[in-house]
Structure formats: C-alpha cells, structure tokens
Structure 1
Amino acid sequence: MLPPWTILARYLKYRSSWEDLCDRCGRCCFMREVDEDGDVIIDYAAPCAFLDAKTRQCTVYERRFETCNLCNRITLRHALFANHLPEGCAYTRIFRDKNEPGFESAETAARPQSNGEKANTPKRYRKDG
C-alpha cells in the first residue's frame, strides 16, 4: 500500500475531477458476487439493464445513482480497498500503484476494449490482489 501522504496528495490532485477518472469501460457494470474464498466473480452474461452492450457505455450515466439502485458511487475507500473493481480500473491504478500512471480525462482517453472477454465467461479477481 502507498504511504498515506502519497494517497492524500493524489486524492487532493484528482478530487475536483473525480468523475473524470472513470475509464467508462463498462466492466464494473456487470453482476458481481464474492465466493467463499473471497474471490470476486464477475458475470459478464449479466450486465446492468442500463449498459449499452454495443458501446459498453451507461445509457443513464449522469443520473445513474438515482436510476439504478445497484450502482454505487466509487469513493476513495473503494479505490483503496474494494476487491470488486476490475483489473486496470483507473481508480485503483491511481490510488494503489506506486508509480502514478498518466491521466487523461474520460472525454479524451481512448476507451479500453473488452480485452477479449466473452459475454458469458465469469471472471475471478483475488481479493488480495
């Protein structure tokens, strides 16, 4: 884990553009569950009802918290400790990596592709990394 002063410095740097950190890849918009071993299982066959499968974008993004009761705001606590965020999530890259990655706003960054994820293939993430 990064030292607290590094985390604080990064949070202060990005807090005014917190929403822009999101890659808008859509990978966190699928049903997830934690198994008995603490692994997070993401079911890519069960997307959120508001996820456009073709563009992998939320169709109600600006109103997502009011519209979808399963959508949760990502906080600094999530960025630091949550084990359900997908690999490569911008929030975890910025607040967990020792070397801060370059940052582009969501409007200018190229959107990540699905990385060959099959729609019906659940993916596991270990809770310890």
Structure 2
Amino acid sequence: MSQSGAGPFWVVKSLDQMTEVEWESLCDGCGRCCLHKLRDDETGELEFTNVACRLLDTHSCACSDYANRSREVPDCISLTSAALTEIDWLPPSCAYRLIADGKPLPDWHPLITGDAGSTFKAGASVSDRVISEDDAGPLEHHIVDWPCRWPKPRQ
C-alpha cells in the first residue's frame, strides 16, 4: 500500500488525492456514523442515540444495501472531503476525520492491523450495542453518549 516507499497512502495522500478504493478502505466499519442523532433546533446541541439506520446490520456493522443506500434512505450522507468541513458528528476515531485533521490512524484500524475484526476488538464498533430503527420507538428514549467518545476496549 505504499507509494514509492514514501509511506502508506493515507499518510502520503490528501483525502482529495485518494482513489475510490483507497477512500472506501479508510472506513473502519465501526457503524457509528449510521446511528441516529438528534439536534436541538434552537441550541444546535447534538445528542447521539443507540438506534441504527434500518440498513445497518447491527451485528456485522455492514450496510445491507450500500450501493443503493441514498435511494433507500434519502437522508443518508455520502461522505466526501468537502462534506467533512460541515459534518460535526463523526466519532473522534473516524479515519476520515483524523486524516482531515492531520492525525494518525488509531493502532487498531484495519489498515494498520490487517485484521477486519480489529475495530470490534478495540471496542470501536457498534456491533451488538445498538438496535435497528425498526425496533426502537421514539429516539428520545435511546440517547447515549458513547458514540461521540474515543472507543474503550471491550471487556
């Protein structure tokens, strides 16, 4: 994955310079961005919930229809480098956010470990910690604060 021996692509390239494959591989599969959030219209305060988009498999943290997600869920955000300047709800461990801020990927990121399960092992994924919007009821009953915090290893 290195480029002329200069280092891995996520170190030597800006987000805008990455290929689609490189861009997509930055996603650690945590699923935190697929959780519903509530924003107070008056204060702008943001609250996170443990309720996942109906397309998210709450165990594997994979989107069940990634290619068509924007059609299936019209308010699904297509993350771009330009959109990163406007989005304030990505988790602190998000690779896109980290790279945009000039920070390194966490040691447990799958690009570092070569292990797709390292996100789960690090306690960063939503796997088995969330429910689908189909089963949730009012979002106000599901407010949590862990999605906006740096992950803690699972016990």
TM-score band, normalised by the shorter chain? 0.5 to 0.7
Q: How many residue pairs align between the two structures?
A: 115
Number of the residue aligned with 1:112: 119
Give the Å deviation of 1:100: 3.5
> Which one of the candidate residues 92, 99, 121 is aligned to 2:97?
92
Q: Does 1:11 align with 2:6?
A: no
Question: Match of 2:37, SS?
Answer: strand
Question: Match of 2:47, SS?
Answer: strand
Structure 1 residues 51 and 81: alpha-carbon distance in aligned structure 2, compared to 1, 3 A threshold:
same
Once the two structures are superposed, the pairs formed by residues 10-89 of structure 1 within 5 Å of their partners are 10-16=14-20, 17-35=22-40, 36-44=42-50, 46-89=51-94
CA contact (8 A) 2:28 2:119 kept: yes
| TM-score between both structures, scaled by the size of structure 2 | 0.58
Report Cα offsets for 1:9-44 as digits up to 9, x if no partner: 512442442222222211111111223544321111
Name which one, 1 or 2, has greater alpha-carbon Rg. 2
Q: Which amino acid aligns with 2:15?
A: Y
Unpaired runs of 5+ in structure 2? 1-12, 131-141, 150-155
Q: Which has the higher contact order (CA 8 A, sep 6+)?
A: 1
CA contact (8 A) 2:61 2:125 kept: no
Q: Name the % identity.
A: 25
CA contact (8 A) 1:39 1:125 kept: no
Give the Å deviation of 1:55: 1.4
- The structure whose residues are more often strand, as a share, is 1
Which is further off, 108-117 or 15-24?
Answer: 108-117
| TM-score between both structures, scaled by the size of structure 1 | 0.68
Give the Å deviation of 1:70: 2.2
Structure 1 residues 86 and 101: alpha-carbon distance in aligned structure 2, compared to 1, 3 A threshold:
closer
Which is further off, 86-95 or 64-73?
Answer: 64-73
Question: Match of 1:32, SS?
Answer: strand
> Which one of the candidate residues 127, 141, 144 is aligned to 1:122?
144
Which is further off, 63-72 or 108-117?
Answer: 108-117
Number of the residue aligned with 1:4: none
Root-mean-square deviation (CA, aligned residues, Å) is 3.2
Inter-partner Cα distance in structure 2 for 1:42 and 1:112? 20
> Which one of the candidate residues 105, 128, 133 is aligned to 1:101?
105
